[in-house]
Structures are given as structure tokens and as C-alpha cells.
Copies of this chain bind each other. A is one copy, B any other.
């Protein structure tokens, strides 16, 4: 089952467009970048750009989606008898990178922070990832794919990652992101109980 040339080429173009969009936006500011420039950087016609993405915002964020799709893949690869939350902690750690978070990803989340116009599309991207997670979780637990439990678990975990990342960015990336996320996941597993203010 070798993926045909056609398919590979398409994927390559998509990636090309995504990274070009991100690169240009980081370098010159989102507002200064036009679709024409992105298309040119990816060596493709402007019309073709719109065959892949419906806006430059979507393209900028697309790279992140692909990165995060591997979260679901990794999750599916964990042993089925491992507690779900354990699996989730492991895969999140894994995809955060051994040493530091991938700098492409950091550039992206920083860009979103600086450009509120990107937020809607960032959140939509998260929703896609959330959906992938939900599907895997449903298989894993043997529940229906539209059951409340896998859906909410996926949503809550994505929320934890989002909130933790935001906090991490806000604190000038001083803490270890993995630790912050773990803390957030702890809160989830303890039912969001009010933490004692004197530990």
C-alpha cells in the first residue's frame, strides 16, 4: 500500500503552504502577509492556495493541526489496559519533545497570542484534534463514539492543554510546560476540587 505519487504530492503542497504561511507571518506580521505571497513562497498559484485552505489564518494554524494529529496516533499505540489518564500523560509528554517543546510549535502559539484574529482558527484546529482524540478514546473504552464520556474527556484534556499552555506563555515560558500540563490534568482527575490554599 504505497501511497501514490499524487497523494504524496498533495500532502507536500499542503505542508509547503502551511509552513510558508507560518514563516511569513512570523517574519513580517500576519497583516502584512498576503495569500499571493504565501502561494509564491510555496511555488503554486494563488488559486491553488484556496484549493487547500479557505483563508490564510487557516493555513497558519494548519501546521499545528498536523503536529497534534500525532497525539491521537500515539494514544492509539498505547497498551489498551493502561489507565486512560496515564496514557494521556505519557503521550502528551512524548509529543512535547524530550528536551524542549518544538520551536515551530512555540512560534505558532506565540503568533496566535499576538494576533487575536487567529484565535478562532486556532480553536477550530483544537476542535479537530479533540475529535481525533475522541474517536481513539471511544475505541479504547468500547463506548459509542458519540457517548458523553469520551467526548468530554477529549474536550477536557484539550482544555487542560490549552489553559496550561496559555499560562506557560504568560509566565514567559519559565516553568516546565510538561509540569504545568500535568498539574492541570491532576485538577481534572481530582474533579476540580478547590485546592487547599495552604499545602
Interface residues of A (CB under 8 A from B): 54, 84-85, 117, 119-121, 123-124, 126-127, 141-143, 146, 148-149, 151-153, 155-156, 158-160, 162-164, 166-167, 170, 180, 183-184, 187-192, 194-195, 197
Q: Are the C-beta atoms of A187 and B124 separated by less than 8 Å? A: no
Q: Are the C-beta atoms of A192 and B192 separated by less than 8 Å? A: no
CB of A147 to closest CB in B, whole Å: 9
CB of A25 to closest CB in B, whole Å: 17
Q: Are the C-beta atoms of A192 and B187 separated by less than 8 Å? A: no
Instruction: Give the secondary structure class of A's interface.
Output: helix
Q: Are the C-beta atoms of A192 and B152 separated by less than 8 Å? A: yes
Residues of B within 8 A of A190 (CB): 191
Contact of A127 among B117, B119, B146, B170 (CB under 8 A): B119
Q: Are the C-beta atoms of A151 and B124 separated by less than 8 Å? A: no
Complex A-B: 12 CB contacts under 8 Å: A84-B194, A123-B123, A143-B197, A148-B167, A148-B187, A152-B160, A152-B192, A153-B187, A155-B159, A156-B192, A159-B159, A188-B191
